[in-house]
């Protein structure tokens, strides 16, 4: 995957969405390898496709954060609003509720998050 990312980077792509699958060590290794291959100029986001339980999402995202990921898309099941809030409050990366049901509480929750700090 890192080699494919390098090819795209060499063609001018600078923003990458990395699919992860809920296996913490494997997912962190994938992000680390891509960051190492691309260097600091690439923008990395993660799409977890609801593959983590909250505890594992917190662990994975915390371990990925040093690799400068900018956003994590739907780390927990869409119907686990409490888990999504738990993750969002615990990690230093913006979490997106991409597949969560659009209810008043999720809209309020999502809008309460601030933008990531400028580096």
Catalytic residue among 19, 55, 85, 118: 19
Q: Is the dihedral of CA 63, 76, 51, 34 positive or negative?
A: negative
Beta bridge partners of 93: none
Query: What DSSP line would sit under 54-85, residue for residue?
Result: HHHHHHHHHHHGGG-EEEEE--S-TT-HHHHH
Q: What is the DSSP letter of 81?
A: H
The residues, any chain, with a CB within 8 Å of residue 111's CB and separated by 6 or more, are none
Is 19 part of the annotated catalytic residue set?
Answer: yes
Catalytic amino acids?
A: 19
């Amino acid at each position: 995957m890192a080699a494919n990312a390098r090819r795209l980077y060499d063609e001018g792509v600078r923003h990458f969405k990395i699919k992860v699958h809920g296996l913490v060590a494997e997912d962190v290794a994938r992000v680390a390898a891509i960051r190492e291959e691309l260097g600091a100029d690439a923008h990395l986001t993660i799409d977890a496709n609801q593959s983590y339980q909250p505890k594992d999402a917190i662990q994975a995202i915390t371990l990925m954060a040093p690799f400068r990921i900018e956003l994590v898309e739907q780390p927990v099941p869409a119907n686990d609003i409490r888990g999504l809030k738990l993750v969002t409050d615990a990690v230093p990366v913006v979490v997106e509720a991409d597949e969560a049901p659009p209810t008043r509480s999720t809209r309020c929750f999502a809008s309460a998050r601030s933008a990531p700090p400028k580096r």
